[in-house]
Structure 1
Amino acid sequence: MSTDRPNSMSKEVKPESVSLRPLGTAAAHEQELLCIFGTGDLGRSLGQRLLQSGYGVVYGSRRPNSCGPVPQGAKVMSHEAAAQSASLVFLCIRREHYDFLATLERQLKGKVLVDVSNNLKKNLYPEANAEYLQRLIPGAHVVKALNTLSAWALQNGPSDANRQVYMCGNSAEAKQAVAEVATKLGFSVLDRGSLTAARELEDIPLQLFPEWRLPLRVAIGLTTFFFFYVVIRDVVYAYVDQGKDISFRIMVSLANRVFPVVSLIMLSLCYLPGVIAAFLQLYRGTKYKRFPDWLDRWMLCRKQLGLLALGFASLHVLYTLIIPIRYYVRFKIAASTISKMKENQTSPFDTTSAWRTDSYYSMGILGFCLYLLLGITSLPSVSNALSWREFSFIQSKLGYLTLFFCTFHTYLYGWDKFLRPSYYKWYTPPAYMLCLVVPSVVIVLKLLILLPCVDRSLTRIRQGWERTDPEDDSKKSLLT
């Protein structure tokens, strides 16, 4: 540490006397003091968490007597005095306010500066905030950390969704000090290397649903395709062929055809990559070869595909519930009833239709309930409370059962319509027929995997067995 302090400061707490040793090595009776620059929402929340974790907190402010409320137990000083009192300083201020730190270069020399700032958009500045800070205060040890946390997460404690935090810096000792503080706050720290990674860390909060982009594109693409498909087959066909204007059905009737179609396809897309991966392992005879990149990306977004599928299924349920109160439906029922009364006609009870409709509704209800169960167990707070076997049972076995119920529900809806030429408008099949292709393929392939001979081979491969030479069983080995 530097020893160029004048003797006139012997009564003050000298910065060079504050070591960069791991903060957790202090004696039990000694309260470690940390400094925070900034008394905004983030600064106050961070101070509250530090106080709850047993640290002492001092705030540095340009207006110590009128900086606003701070957590009870924290002190407020000028920037100079606060910087001298602690070896670790959290900068909860924006980059445009960094210039005043240049006047504190002497007080901040040798200190650990934790930059938690973010920008409003990417590439706003030519260099990362942390790199600019290191250039501004070359004698300090700058660490980029905690910038992916919100004030809410700091105030309420880490949850499963935001437990992991990232950091980077050029000083290993400084990063160790920050990591110990973050760990004591309840977070899991991932070191991303030197300060050159700061730009990448600062871009993380600016990303908009990065894991949802592919599932959203799939959902939007399927919705757009099937919407225009049913509009052409129903609305345009009725107007061209029969001269009828039924465009009013777009808002409810046609929407309620698109939602279940997209939902069923996206649910089957959740389980199709697992089936493909199983057959790929059987073909290769090993589990130690990487899957293709496209299959890896597909498998990593299955959760998002499933949640979007659940959203479309929920819309289908809501739209179905309002069918009895629609003007068009009430008008058709009233017109049909009056017509039969005038003609003194009655419709005989059809037991087959009763069985079909009751089975259709029953499969739909069971499928949607299992749908909800899959969605609930995908939440981190619920999945973390389950063992791996329980989670796998629900997401895999009950997931395939959900797919079966929903597919059977669609088959019952179609019944024998595929035999009637009138349903093939302009020689195109109904939308429900198209949506049955992917789930039917998934179910058939899964049944093939469940065959004893196939399942036995796949189980051995997943336990470590490799097929080195199909013609020589003596070369087959079980890896441990």
Structure 2
Amino acid sequence: MSKIAILGVGRVGGGLATALTRAGHTVTVADRLPGAAADAARTAQIVINATPGNSSLERLAALREQLRGKILVDVSNATVDGPDGLPAALVYPGSSLAEQLQAALPETHVVKTLNTMLFSVMTAPATLTQPPTAFLSGEDPEAKQVVGGLLADLGWHQEWITDLGGIETARAAEAAILFVPHVIRSTGFAPFAISIAR
């Protein structure tokens, strides 16, 4: 079992904290108090970025020392919202938040995952009518293996997890967020995920 710090106290961070604690991990959720994120990251083995993606880079770049040598699991999407509050464009077109984080944190093992689904599916993938897909992007194979173990603790079967390759592949997974507003407008705010059918 691991010591995990979750940065972000919204629905994503809260859901992951509950599920990972239930799985036996020691989980700390950093609130918005000054220094809370730094303290949480310093004592953790794994840090999960569940902060709003459009401000994640600035927040996490400030934690370079605390994140040195750690695994950073990035589940956020960096988007520009439209008038209805739903994602309308990417903050980093031609790149990705994960790539930007890896460049800013060269001594941290960034792994992108769980960003291609509604938040509730992250911790309950088996509730969908067909198997969803969780993608992994990152430079360090061992870090991705560790993150794959966390996904298993959240109920993800091994055959539902696809390793896309290096961190640059995160730009494809992050672009999938552009499906979200159209799906929600078409079918409502119900759990869904990207799934690779074979």
Structure with more of its chain in strand, by fraction:
2
Give 2:71's match in structure 1, choosing from 102, 112, 116.
Answer: 112
Larger Rg: 1
SS at match of 1:158: helix
Q: Which deviations, in whole Å up to 9, do the C-alpha atoms of 1:418-437 show, x marking residues without a partner?
A: xxxxxxxxxxxxxxxxxxxx
Structure 1 equivalent of residue 3 of structure 2? 33
Structure 1 equivalent of residue 165 of structure 2? 193
Structure 2 equivalent of residue 150 of structure 1? 118
Give the whole-Å Cα distance in 2 for the aligned partners of 1:174 and 1:83. 16
Give the whole-Å Cα distance in 1 for the aligned partners of 2:123 and 2:138. 25
Give the whole-Å Cα distance in 2 for the aligned partners of 1:173 and 1:91. 19
Give the whole-Å Cα distance in 1 for the aligned partners of 2:117 and 2:59. 25
1:38–1:59 CA contact under 8 A, matched in 2: yes
**Which residue identity does 1:203 align to in structure 2?**
A
Structure 2 residues without counterparts, runs of 5 or longer: 80-86, 183-198
Give the whole-Å Cα distance in 1 for the aligned partners of 2:106 and 2:43. 20
Give the whole-Å Cα distance in 2 for the aligned partners of 1:149 and 1:131. 20
Give 1:48's match in structure 2, choosing from 6, 18, 21.
Answer: 18
Residue 145 and residue 34 in structure 1: after superposition, are their counterparts in 2 closer, same or farther (change >3 A)?
same
1:149–1:162 CA contact under 8 A, matched in 2: no
Give the whole-Å Cα distance in 2 for the aligned partners of 1:209 and 1:132. 24
**Which residue identity does 1:96 align to in structure 2?**
N
Structure 1 residues without counterparts, runs of 5 or longer: 1-30, 65-76, 211-480
SS at match of 1:104: coil
Give the whole-Å Cα distance in 1 for the aligned partners of 2:31 and 2:8. 7
Residue 44 and residue 123 in structure 1: after superposition, are their counterparts in 2 closer, same or farther (change >3 A)?
closer
Give 1:88's match in structure 2, choosing from 35, 42, 46.
Answer: 46
Residue 40 and residue 123 in structure 1: after superposition, are their counterparts in 2 closer, same or farther (change >3 A)?
closer
Q: Which deviations, in whole Å up to 9, do the C-alpha atoms of 1:374-401 show, x marking residues without a partner?
A: xxxxxxxxxxxxxxxxxxxxxxxxxxxx
Give the whole-Å Cα distance in 1 for the aligned partners of 2:54 and 2:180. 24
Give the whole-Å Cα distance in 2 for the aligned partners of 1:117 and 1:55. 21
Give the whole-Å Cα distance in 1 for the aligned partners of 2:90 and 2:154. 31
SS at match of 1:44: helix
Structure 1 equivalent of residue 133 of structure 2? 164
Give the whole-Å Cα distance in 1 for the aligned partners of 2:131 and 2:117. 7
Residue 128 and residue 106 in structure 1: after superposition, are their counterparts in 2 closer, same or farther (change >3 A)?
same
2:20–2:27 CA contact under 8 A, matched in 1: yes
Q: Which deviations, in whole Å up to 9, do the C-alpha atoms of 1:203-236 show, x marking residues without a partner?
A: 22322699xxxxxxxxxxxxxxxxxxxxxxxxxx
Residue 150 and residue 103 in structure 1: after superposition, are their counterparts in 2 closer, same or farther (change >3 A)?
same
Tell me the CA shift for residue 54 of structure 1.
1.6
Give the whole-Å Cα distance in 1 for the aligned partners of 2:73 and 2:180. 25
Q: TM-score, normalised by structure 1?
A: 0.33
Give the whole-Å Cα distance in 2 for the aligned partners of 1:52 and 1:107. 26
2:138–2:165 CA contact under 8 A, matched in 1: yes
Give the whole-Å Cα distance in 1 for the aligned partners of 2:68 and 2:112. 17
Tell me the CA shift for residue 61 of structure 1.
2.6
Give the whole-Å Cα distance in 1 for the aligned partners of 2:51 and 2:180. 23
Root-mean-square deviation (Å): 2.3
How many positions carry a matched residue from both structures? 168
1:48–1:155 CA contact under 8 A, matched in 2: no
2:73–2:112 CA contact under 8 A, matched in 1: yes
**Which residue identity does 1:54 align to in structure 2?**
G
Give the whole-Å Cα distance in 2 for the aligned partners of 1:88 and 1:35. 6
Structure 1 equivalent of residue 103 of structure 2? 135
